[in-house]
Amino acid sequence: MSTAQKAKILQLIDSCCQNAKSTQLKSLSFVIGAVNGTTKEAKRTYIQEQCEFLEKLRQQKIREGRINILSMDAGVSNFAFSKMQLLNNDPLPKVLDWQKINLEEKFFQNLKKLSLNPAETSELVFNLTEYLFESMPIPDMFTIERQRTRTMSSRHILDPILKVNILEQILFSNLENKMKYTNKIPNTSKLRYMVCSSDPHRMTSYWCIPREETPTSSKKLKSNKHSKDSRIKLVKKILSTSILEGNSTSSTKLVEFIGVWNNRIRNALTKKKSFKLCDILEIQDNSGVRKDDDLADSFLHCLSWMEWLKNYESITELLNSKTLVKTQFGQVFEFCENKVQKLKFLQNTYNND
């Protein structure tokens, strides 16, 4: 597709937004993962920014016949990532890899704990960056969950939070600079990927029906725990649905597990009713604390970007149709509203099981 054609699609999306209602813009923002601005003008700006990013992913998928996304939840003792692939003619993405790593134990065999020493941090993140490129295919996009800068109940920045923020920043820089450096070397294969800081709030809002914010700290903490538990439960339901529905094209099936993943999940489902995600990954005790929220978040970040890209592709197809422009715009917002309702139905289905 030419530059002019790409620009035309983005221009059509902006034209679609110009006379839209605020509620319509909110639905569009939601289904493509854009920031929901407080004014109509802000909503339009954020929608355009997200569409420009998704258009790059769409073009890469058209060129290569598939798109690979690797999403990370940064942590020193509980670093988790999920890698998925979506082929041009497949309706659902496939899980290629899913891991949780204790970075200190994997890359610092002779060092007890990571300090705030720049040399140690640099070495650890360099080794991590190289590790992420060991398995093929190389991702077309890396996403890193944006980290908070302080705890909810304190104005002070604690050492663990500081470490994970430093890890996030250096990892982002290493991934960007690895591509820039490699592409300057003559006679070498060029790297083509994007690096994105992925907003945890947008991911959570997409998958978990938002709860009303409360003014008290204790209620906020309970709400936060509820959201975390809901995300873990949701991922478990996505896993079980994927296996139990087999080749079904049910609207509740969102992802494909093949090979070893299929066997591991099936084994977990037959052994006990309540299973941990760590059990599916066959994680041993030395791979950090056996908690599932890091694995769930990396999985949902990756699946979110796959969903947002698929939704964006559907919108571009509607805008590229031969119908009248006004009809196209109406179809876009109808698609967005239907998608929101389907997602709410999906969430209610999973929550009521």
Please tell me the predicted confidence (pLDDT) of residue 296.
94
Q: Are 74 and 171 within 8 A, CB to CB?
A: yes
| Residue owning tokens 């006379």 | 19
Give the separation between CA 67 and CA 140, rounded to whole angstroms: 6
Q: Decide: helix, strand or coil at residue 151.
A: coil
pTM of the model: 0.89
Residue 91 vs residues 108, 143, 250, 339: alpha-carbon distances, Å:
41, 22, 11, 15
pLDDT score recorded for residue 284:
59
DSSP 20: -
Q: How far apart are CA 57 and CA 126, in angstroms?
A: 26
pLDDT at 196: 94
Six-digit token pair at 117? 């020493």
Q: What are phi and psi of 195, to 5 degrees?
A: -120, 130
Beta carbons within 8 Å of 165's beta carbon, 6+ residues apart: 147, 149
What is the Cα gyration radius of the chain?
Answer: 21
Identify the pLDDT of residue 156. 52
**Is residue 230 a contact partner of residue 347, using CB atoms and an 8 Å limit?**
no
Tokens of 313: 């592709």
Please state, in angstroms and as integers, the Cα–Cα distance from residue 213 to each residue in 95, 209, 217, following that order: 34, 12, 10
Q: What is the pLDDT of residue 347?
A: 78
Q: Is 294 annotated as a binding residue?
A: yes
CA end-to-end span of the chain: 45
Angle between helices 40-64 and 3-18 (to 10 degrees): 150
d(CA 251, CA 230): 20
Over residues 116-138, the pLDDT tens digits come to 788 888 988 999 999 999 999 99
Q: Distance between CA 48 and CA 316 in Å, rounded?
A: 13
Exposed / middle / buried, residue 314 (Cβ in 10 Å: 0-12, 13-18, 19+): middle
In order along its 353 residues, the chain shows pLDDT tens digits of 556 666 788 999 999 999 899 999 999 999 999 999 999 999 999 999 999 999 999 999 999 999 999 999 998 888 999 999 999 989 999 999 999 998 888 887 766 677 778 888 898 899 999 999 999 999 999 999 987 665 545 555 567 788 889 999 999 999 999 999 999 999 888 899 999 999 999 999 998 856 444 334 444 444 555 578 889 989 998 988 888 766 666 667 899 988 888 888 888 888 766 788 888 877 655 545 568 889 999 999 999 999 999 999 999 999 887 766 778 899 999 999 999 998 888 877 766 66
Q: Is 140 annotated as a binding residue?
A: no
Task: For residue 149, count other CB atoms closer than 10 A to its CB.
Answer: 9
Per-residue model confidence (pLDDT) at position 217: 44
Strands 194-198 and 94-101: unpaired
pLDDT confidence of residue 142: 98
Look up residue 88 and give its DSSP letter: T
* Alpha helix (H) residue ranges in the chain: 3-18, 22-32, 40-64, 103-107, 118-132, 159-184, 200-207, 217-244, 260-271, 277-280, 293-319, 325-352
Spell out the domains of the chain, with CATH numbers in brackets: 37-150+158-208+217-352 (3.30.420.10)
Q: Which parts of the chain are beta strand (E)?
A: 66-73, 79-87, 94-101, 141-145, 194-198
Burial (CB < 10 A; 0-12, 13-18, 19+), residue 290, is: middle
